[in-house]
Chain A
Amino acid sequence: GAGVSQSPSNKVTEKGKDVELRCDPISGHTALYWYRQSLGQGLEFLIYFQGNSAPDKSGLPSDRFSAERTGGSVSTLTIQRTQQEDSAVYLCASSLRTAGEKLFFGSGTQLSVL
Protein backbone atom coordinates (compact mmCIF):
# COMPACT_ATOMS: atom_id res chain seq x y z
CA GLY A 1 0.00 0.00 0.00
CA ALA A 2 0.88 3.65 -0.16
CA GLY A 3 1.41 4.10 3.54
CA VAL A 4 1.52 2.36 6.91
CA SER A 5 -1.86 0.84 7.64
CA GLN A 6 -3.13 0.13 11.15
CA SER A 7 -6.27 -1.63 12.24
CA PRO A 8 -8.60 -1.20 13.92
CA SER A 9 -8.59 2.59 14.10
CA ASN A 10 -10.56 2.43 17.34
CA LYS A 11 -10.91 -0.35 19.87
CA VAL A 12 -13.02 -0.32 23.00
CA THR A 13 -12.57 -3.23 25.35
CA GLU A 14 -13.34 -4.26 28.88
CA LYS A 15 -10.71 -4.50 31.56
CA GLY A 16 -9.20 -7.98 31.63
CA LYS A 17 -9.82 -8.78 27.96
CA ASP A 18 -7.04 -9.43 25.43
CA VAL A 19 -6.63 -7.21 22.35
CA GLU A 20 -4.68 -7.49 19.12
CA LEU A 21 -3.57 -4.49 17.11
CA ARG A 22 -2.36 -4.88 13.54
CA CYS A 23 0.21 -2.97 11.51
CA ASP A 24 0.87 -3.35 7.79
CA PRO A 25 4.09 -1.47 6.96
CA ILE A 26 5.14 0.03 3.67
CA SER A 27 6.31 -2.66 1.26
CA GLY A 28 10.09 -3.06 1.35
CA HIS A 29 10.54 -1.41 4.73
CA THR A 30 12.62 -3.69 6.93
CA ALA A 31 12.35 -1.68 10.14
CA LEU A 32 9.11 -1.60 12.12
CA TYR A 33 8.35 0.17 15.38
CA TRP A 34 5.51 0.24 17.87
CA TYR A 35 5.00 3.31 20.06
CA ARG A 36 2.35 4.35 22.55
CA GLN A 37 1.13 7.93 22.80
CA SER A 38 -0.81 9.24 25.76
CA LEU A 39 -1.35 12.69 27.26
CA GLY A 40 1.67 13.92 29.14
CA GLN A 41 3.76 10.89 28.23
CA GLY A 42 4.79 11.79 24.73
CA LEU A 43 5.79 8.97 22.41
CA GLU A 44 6.73 5.91 24.41
CA PHE A 45 8.85 3.33 22.58
CA LEU A 46 7.54 -0.23 22.87
CA ILE A 47 9.34 -2.54 20.44
CA TYR A 48 11.55 -2.42 17.33
CA PHE A 49 11.95 -5.01 14.58
CA GLN A 50 14.82 -4.78 12.11
CA GLY A 51 14.94 -7.39 9.37
CA ASN A 52 15.73 -10.85 10.71
CA SER A 53 17.46 -9.59 13.83
CA ALA A 54 16.09 -10.30 17.29
CA PRO A 55 13.58 -7.56 18.15
CA ASP A 56 14.43 -4.86 20.68
CA LYS A 57 11.75 -5.41 23.32
CA SER A 58 13.25 -3.08 25.89
CA GLY A 59 10.29 -0.68 25.83
CA LEU A 60 7.52 -3.17 26.57
CA PRO A 61 6.02 -2.04 29.91
CA SER A 62 5.09 -5.47 31.22
CA ASP A 63 4.87 -9.13 30.23
CA ARG A 64 1.25 -8.54 29.26
CA PHE A 65 2.56 -6.89 26.12
CA SER A 66 4.01 -8.86 23.22
CA ALA A 67 4.50 -8.37 19.50
CA GLU A 68 5.42 -10.45 16.53
CA ARG A 69 6.25 -9.75 12.94
CA THR A 70 5.46 -12.47 10.45
CA GLY A 71 7.43 -12.89 7.25
CA GLY A 72 9.18 -9.59 7.77
CA SER A 73 5.99 -7.69 7.00
CA VAL A 74 2.77 -7.49 9.03
CA SER A 75 3.10 -7.03 12.77
CA THR A 76 0.65 -7.71 15.59
CA LEU A 77 0.84 -6.12 19.03
CA THR A 78 -1.00 -8.14 21.67
CA ILE A 79 -2.02 -6.83 25.07
CA GLN A 80 -3.26 -9.49 27.48
CA ARG A 81 -5.54 -8.82 30.45
CA THR A 82 -5.92 -5.16 29.54
CA GLN A 83 -5.90 -2.53 32.26
CA GLN A 84 -7.32 0.99 32.22
CA GLU A 85 -3.82 2.45 32.13
CA ASP A 86 -3.30 0.72 28.77
CA SER A 87 -5.69 3.23 27.21
CA ALA A 88 -3.71 5.23 24.66
CA VAL A 89 -3.06 5.63 20.95
CA TYR A 90 -0.82 2.86 19.65
CA LEU A 91 1.29 3.96 16.70
CA CYS A 92 3.18 1.85 14.22
CA ALA A 93 5.98 3.17 12.03
CA SER A 94 8.22 1.69 9.38
CA SER A 95 11.37 2.72 7.56
CA LEU A 96 14.04 1.49 5.21
CA ARG A 97 16.95 -0.27 6.81
CA THR A 98 19.53 2.47 7.21
CA ALA A 99 19.60 4.34 10.52
CA GLY A 100 19.28 7.77 8.92
CA GLU A 101 16.03 7.01 7.17
CA LYS A 102 12.86 8.74 8.28
CA LEU A 103 9.98 6.89 9.86
CA PHE A 104 6.59 6.72 8.21
CA PHE A 105 3.80 6.58 10.76
CA GLY A 106 0.40 4.99 10.60
CA SER A 107 -2.70 6.76 11.84
CA GLY A 108 -2.74 4.72 15.01
CA THR A 109 -5.20 2.63 17.00
CA GLN A 110 -7.07 4.44 19.76
CA LEU A 111 -7.46 1.87 22.53
CA SER A 112 -9.96 2.52 25.29
CA VAL A 113 -10.14 0.12 28.22
CA LEU A 114 -13.30 0.47 30.26
Chain B
Amino acid sequence: AQSVTQLDSQVPVFEEAPVELRCNYSSSVSVYLFWYVQYPNQGLQLLLKYLSGSTLVKGINGFEAEFNKSQTSFHLRKPSVHISDTAEYFCAPRDGGTALIFGKGTTLSVSS
Protein backbone atom coordinates (compact mmCIF):
# COMPACT_ATOMS: atom_id res chain seq x y z
CA ALA B 1 0.00 0.00 0.00
CA GLN B 2 1.03 3.54 -0.60
CA SER B 3 2.33 5.86 2.08
CA VAL B 4 2.51 9.63 1.77
CA THR B 5 4.35 12.42 3.56
CA GLN B 6 3.37 16.06 3.46
CA LEU B 7 6.48 17.72 4.70
CA ASP B 8 4.92 20.92 6.04
CA SER B 9 1.94 20.94 8.36
CA GLN B 10 1.51 24.72 8.12
CA VAL B 11 2.61 27.22 5.48
CA PRO B 12 2.02 30.93 6.16
CA VAL B 13 2.53 33.29 3.21
CA PHE B 14 1.66 36.81 2.19
CA GLU B 15 -0.75 37.56 -0.60
CA GLU B 16 0.77 37.53 -4.10
CA ALA B 17 3.77 35.49 -2.95
CA PRO B 18 4.57 32.16 -4.58
CA VAL B 19 3.96 28.96 -2.66
CA GLU B 20 5.02 25.32 -2.82
CA LEU B 21 3.38 22.57 -0.79
CA ARG B 22 5.51 19.46 -0.67
CA CYS B 23 4.40 15.86 -1.02
CA ASN B 24 6.43 12.65 -1.17
CA TYR B 25 5.03 9.16 -1.65
CA SER B 26 6.41 5.64 -1.47
CA SER B 27 7.80 4.28 -4.67
CA SER B 28 5.63 2.24 -6.98
CA VAL B 29 5.68 0.87 -10.48
CA SER B 30 2.63 2.87 -11.36
CA VAL B 31 0.86 5.42 -9.27
CA TYR B 32 -1.91 7.92 -9.62
CA LEU B 33 -1.49 11.18 -7.71
CA PHE B 34 -4.09 13.61 -6.45
CA TRP B 35 -4.29 16.88 -4.59
CA TYR B 36 -7.53 17.72 -2.78
CA VAL B 37 -8.43 21.00 -1.11
CA GLN B 38 -10.72 21.78 1.80
CA TYR B 39 -11.73 25.43 2.16
CA PRO B 40 -12.89 26.60 5.60
CA ASN B 41 -16.24 25.06 6.52
CA GLN B 42 -16.52 23.29 3.18
CA GLY B 43 -16.15 19.72 1.93
CA LEU B 44 -13.15 18.28 0.15
CA GLN B 45 -12.83 18.78 -3.58
CA LEU B 46 -10.37 17.67 -6.21
CA LEU B 47 -7.73 20.27 -7.10
CA LEU B 48 -5.80 18.29 -9.72
CA LYS B 49 -4.60 14.82 -10.61
CA TYR B 50 -1.83 13.02 -12.43
CA LEU B 51 -2.66 9.75 -14.18
CA SER B 52 -0.11 9.58 -17.02
CA GLY B 53 1.49 11.68 -19.73
CA SER B 54 2.87 15.14 -19.10
CA THR B 55 4.49 15.40 -15.68
CA LEU B 56 3.21 18.95 -15.18
CA VAL B 57 -0.50 19.03 -14.44
CA LYS B 58 -2.68 22.07 -14.03
CA GLY B 59 -5.66 22.30 -11.74
CA ILE B 60 -8.29 24.72 -10.63
CA ASN B 61 -7.59 28.21 -9.26
CA GLY B 62 -4.16 28.51 -10.90
CA PHE B 63 -2.51 25.62 -9.05
CA GLU B 64 -0.17 23.17 -10.73
CA ALA B 65 1.84 20.16 -9.65
CA GLU B 66 4.80 18.31 -11.06
CA PHE B 67 5.24 14.55 -10.94
CA ASN B 68 8.86 13.61 -10.31
CA LYS B 69 9.29 9.86 -10.48
CA SER B 70 12.96 9.77 -9.48
CA GLN B 71 12.29 11.79 -6.34
CA THR B 72 8.85 10.22 -5.74
CA SER B 73 7.42 13.70 -5.28
CA PHE B 74 4.31 15.55 -6.38
CA HIS B 75 4.72 19.10 -5.10
CA LEU B 76 1.92 21.62 -5.51
CA ARG B 77 2.73 25.17 -6.61
CA LYS B 78 1.11 28.50 -7.32
CA PRO B 79 3.07 31.53 -8.54
CA SER B 80 0.92 34.12 -6.76
CA VAL B 81 -1.54 33.28 -3.99
CA HIS B 82 -4.72 35.06 -2.96
CA ILE B 83 -6.42 35.35 0.40
CA SER B 84 -9.06 32.98 -0.93
CA ASP B 85 -6.46 30.21 -1.28
CA THR B 86 -6.42 29.84 2.49
CA ALA B 87 -7.38 26.21 3.00
CA GLU B 88 -6.11 22.78 3.91
CA TYR B 89 -4.45 20.83 1.12
CA PHE B 90 -4.18 17.05 1.00
CA CYS B 91 -1.91 14.95 -1.19
CA ALA B 92 -3.07 11.43 -2.06
CA PRO B 93 -1.24 8.76 -4.06
CA ARG B 94 -2.90 5.60 -5.26
CA ASP B 95 -1.69 2.23 -6.59
CA GLY B 96 -4.16 0.94 -9.14
CA GLY B 97 -7.38 -0.15 -7.49
CA THR B 98 -6.22 0.08 -3.90
CA ALA B 99 -7.63 2.50 -1.36
CA LEU B 100 -6.87 6.20 -1.71
CA ILE B 101 -4.71 7.22 1.25
CA PHE B 102 -4.38 10.88 2.17
CA GLY B 103 -1.49 12.71 3.75
CA LYS B 104 -1.96 14.55 7.02
CA GLY B 105 -2.56 17.80 5.17
CA THR B 106 -0.91 21.19 4.87
CA THR B 107 -2.67 24.28 6.13
CA LEU B 108 -2.00 27.21 3.82
CA SER B 109 -2.65 30.57 5.48
CA VAL B 110 -2.54 33.61 3.20
CA SER B 111 -2.46 37.04 4.81
CA SER B 112 -2.42 40.56 3.41
Contact = CB atoms under 8 A, between A and B. Distances in A.
Q: What bracket does the count of chain B residues touching chain A fall in?
A: 20 to 34
Given A42-B105, A100-B32, A105 B43 contact: yes
Given A91-B44, A100-B51, A108-B43, A45 B101 contact: yes
Interface string B89-112: 010001011111111110000000
Contacts of A48: 98-100
Interface residues of A, number: 22
Contacts, number: 51
B29 interface: no
Given A91-B44, A99-B32, A107-B43, A58 B97 contact: no
> 4 closest A-B pairs (Cβ-Cβ)?
A42-B104, A43-B102, A48-B99, A102-B46
Interface of A: 33, 35, 40-43, 45, 48, 50, 56, 58-59, 91, 93, 99-100, 102-103, 105-108
